[in-house]
Amino acid sequence: MAKTKTKTKAKVKADIRANVSIENIVASTVLAEKLDLTAVALALDGAEYEPEQFPGLVYRLKEERTAILLFRSGKANCTGAKTIESVQRTIKTVSRKLEEAGLAVIKEPKITVQNIVAVYDLKSDLNLNAIAITLGLERVEYEPEQFPGLVYRVSEPKVVMLLFGSGKVVCTGAKQVDDIVSGVETLKKELRAAGLLH
């Protein structure tokens, strides 16, 4: 019996994982001990650097559909990626271009995922008023006159779900895909237990 239960749980997780659509991964790294952004702007063709408007330099990679923000401190943020591999390729490409331009870079920069934003469809209309009442005010924010979605906070893993009446769920705050899968699983369990999802 326990074996069947484990198998079913694994199948549920696999099902959720297959239907999660990653929209954006935000990751940070340190590319150098310090960067001369004027020199970087010359090295990276098409880079946007307007220090009077924003302290960082923005560089977009068309092939990856990502953008990287570089700062004088040597820190960098990558945004727009849909996979971890895309984040790695973006950082590697920028690092290589900086090195080719004669700028000192860290050889194997450590990449830290800060946030994964994903979308999941529960394939069922949701009664957000009923959900707000049932799931309790300590984990739910719902002000339809301000924002059409309901904000639901999952404590373990620490993720935030935006629920919409259409059944679409936007998950944010995850550091890895497993966090999203667990968050969606928790949400579905709670909604089913309350009779709010069939």
pLDDT-wise least confident of 2-6, 10-14, 46-50, 77-81: 2-6
pLDDT at residue 20 tops 70: yes
Which tens digits make up the pLDDT trace of 107-142?
999 999 999 999 999 999 999 999 999 988 888 999
Give the confidence band of 10 by pLDDT, cuts at 50, 70, 90: confident
Confidence (pLDDT) at 99: 95
Confidence (pLDDT) at 114: 97
Name the domain count of the chain.
Answer: 2
Verify that 44 and 91 share a domain, yes or no.
yes
39 within 8 A of 103, measured Cβ to Cβ: yes
Residues 180 and 194: their CA atoms lie apart, in Å, by: 21
In a domain, 103, yes or no: yes
In a domain, 41, yes or no: yes
Give the confidence band of 7 by pLDDT, cuts at 50, 70, 90: low
For residue 83, the enclosing domain spans 27-113
Verify that 95 and 131 share a domain, yes or no.
no
pLDDT at residue 160 tops 80: yes
User: What predicted TM-score, i.e. pTM, was given to this entire model?
Assistant: 0.88
Verify that 166 and 106 share a domain, yes or no.
no
Give the confidence band of 6 by pLDDT, cuts at 50, 70, 90: low
Q: For residue 105, what is the domain's CATH number?
A: 3.30.310.10
Verify that 93 and 50 share a domain, yes or no.
yes
- The phi, psi pair for 108, rounded to 5°, reads -120, 80
Confidence (pLDDT) at 120: 97
Confidence (pLDDT) at 117: 97
| Rg, Å, the chain Cα set | 21
